[in-house]
Every structure is written in C-alpha cells, then in structure tokens.
Amino acid sequence: MRNAASLLIVAAVIFTAAFACNMSSANLSSLKTGKDPDANSASAKFAAGDTIYAVAEVANNPGKVKVKMYIQVENMAGVKPGTIIDNSVVNLDIDGDAVAKYKYETVSDTAGGTFQIIAEMYNENGEKKDSKAATVTVAPGTPASSDED
C-alpha cells in the first residue's frame, strides 16, 4: 500500500509539471534584423538608402496577439533619444505561432545614427505581454545636392 501511495504522489508531481510546461504563455522568442525579408543574412549595420528588415518570432501562442514594431532613436544628431521615427510604426495581427515581419526603407540622405528596432506583443485585451529590442546602426548618407545655376 505504501508503494502505491508513493507511486501516486510521483505520478501527480510529473503530471503537474508536464501540464505547467504546456500552459506556457505566448511570448516573443526572438527578434533578428537583416538585409533580406526573412533576416536570413543577419545584420545590424546598414547604409543610408538600405531597407532594414526585422523578424520577431511569436511562440507558445494558442490564440491571437498583436505585434507592434517600430524604430526608436538611440543616438542621432539633433534628435532626442527615445523618439519614435515617423512612419515606422506597424501593427501586425498574429494567429498562433508565427513570425511578424517588418521592413523600413531608410532614405539616402539620412543623418544616420544608432536605433532600436522594437517589437511589442499585446494580447486580445490590449495588455502588453512581451517585448524585444535589437540595436541597429545606419551610416549617414549624402545630402541631395541642389542644381542651382
């Protein structure tokens, strides 16, 4: 009888641990940046005029979430750190485990600097559940010349 009770306790502990592992909450398991749409050629350095791609992987997602991705200034001449770059915000609806793909086309005459690509994940109630950030640098471009005669 004692062995049966011990076996039952061990089985209950194992079942509880296995159940807890399966009830993991949705999260952003990774965020990578690169020079192609799938960020297969990983890069954190870009030139003015390059397109910056970012891919955030949503994992353990049993339902629907929203992933908000944007670019924030870390160090750029004349711009306050923490400023969100105009027109960089994208909201993506994700159903189940999937990837959220982002792209931002820099301009050829950008001042350049250091930036954060930020991915934030929100549940259906709009509550922020996870976030990831990746630092990228953009080399300054050449200002457009004026053709005055």
Q: Give percent of the chain with pLDDT exceeding 90.
A: 78
CA distances from 17 to 7, 8, 43, 133 (A): 15, 14, 39, 31
Amino acid sitting at position 123: N
Structural fold of domain 25-139: Immunoglobulin-like (2.60.40)
Q: Report domain extents, the chain.
A: 25-139
Cα gap 43→30, rounded to integer Å: 15
Using a pLDDT cut of 70, give the percent of the chain over it. Answer: 80
* Residue range 17-62, pLDDT digits in tens: 444 444 459 999 999 999 999 999 899 999 999 999 999 999 999 9
Position 26, amino acid: A
User: Cα separation of 57 and 29, whole Å?
Assistant: 6
57 three-state secondary structure: strand
pLDDT at 17: 44
In 3D space, the residue among 123, 134, 8 whose CA is nearest the CA of residue 64 turns out to be 123
